[in-house]
Amino acid sequence: MSYSEDEIRQIVRRVVLRTLRNAPGAALSGYERPHRAVVTAEDVSQSEPGTAIQVPAEALVTPLARQVAMERRIALTSNASDTLNVQPNSGPARVVAIGCDHGGFEMKENLKAFLIELGYHPLDCGTHSEESVDYPDFAFAVARQVADGSAFRGIVIDGAGIGSCMAANKVPGVRAAMCYDQATAVNSRDHNNANVLTLGAGLLGNNLARQIIKAWLETDFGGGRHERRVNQIMEIERRYLKGR
């Protein structure tokens, strides 16, 4: 038996609500309401960037939906016009944390100027010279800004981009992707909702790095079937945080 997209969406929502109703403490939080609306990342992605979505006061907004709203600078408001997330063009929604080791210093300085040209606010996490340093320190510094919500995206540059990607992905909530051309940049955003980008200064020139960053920042998360898979990735992380 085949189902339409609307039918599948309704089935997923029923499963989510049933799960929440059965969760410990659900009766205290109001999750027992059988007809509570659920706002997903797919719902948010259908709205134009910079607009506002009116959400029922009792609606459940998924964490991924909130992140997509922030990235697309979409305001989520309740029926009483209370803001549920960062307003468009304010707060961390235009902040990009950027860091590097000594091998990526020159490229980082070049890309900071480029981010300003694109209308973003670079948050420099170091390093600040070509003196030898250890890349994990700066990958962590950038990833922490993204995980804490101080920046909506992060960029880390080292010699090859590989080690920084590994280090950044150890921070809960971070999905770092090493990209080497525009196609991988677009894919990492569209399919994986990557929130940290790592680049190899020894492999890329400044012009190509700029093209990659522009494509990465301007590509929205595709949602749909990709949201399910990203949630599966994050569930693996949650298992280990629980000690499993």
Single out the catalytic residue among 35, 102, 128, 191: 191
Which residues, 6 or more positions from 157, have their beta carbon under 8 angstroms from its beta carbon? 98, 99, 100, 101, 103, 104, 107, 108, 111, 164, 198, 199, 200, 201, 209
Spatial contact of 60 and 36, defined as CB atoms under 8 Å apart = yes
The answer to whether the Cα torsion of 207, 68, 234, 124 is positive or negative is: positive
The token pair at 130 is 């070509």
For the chain, the straight-line distance linking the first and the last C-alpha, in angstroms and rounded, comes to: 36
- Cα–Cα distance measured from residue 117 to residue 130, given in angstroms and rounded to the nearest whole number: 24
- The two beta strands, 121-124 and 95-100, are parallel
Q: At what angle do helices 206-218 and 105-117 cross, to 10 degrees?
A: 50
Spatial contact of 87 and 97, defined as CB atoms under 8 Å apart = no
Q: CA 181 → CA 75, 85, 205, distances in Å? A: 32, 32, 11
Q: Which helix (H) or strand (E) holds 42?
A: helix 41-45
Q: Active site includes 191? A: yes
Buried b (16+ CB within 10 A) or exposed e, 11-46: eebeebbeebeeeeeeeeeebeeeebebbbbbbbbe
Residues tagged active-site: 191
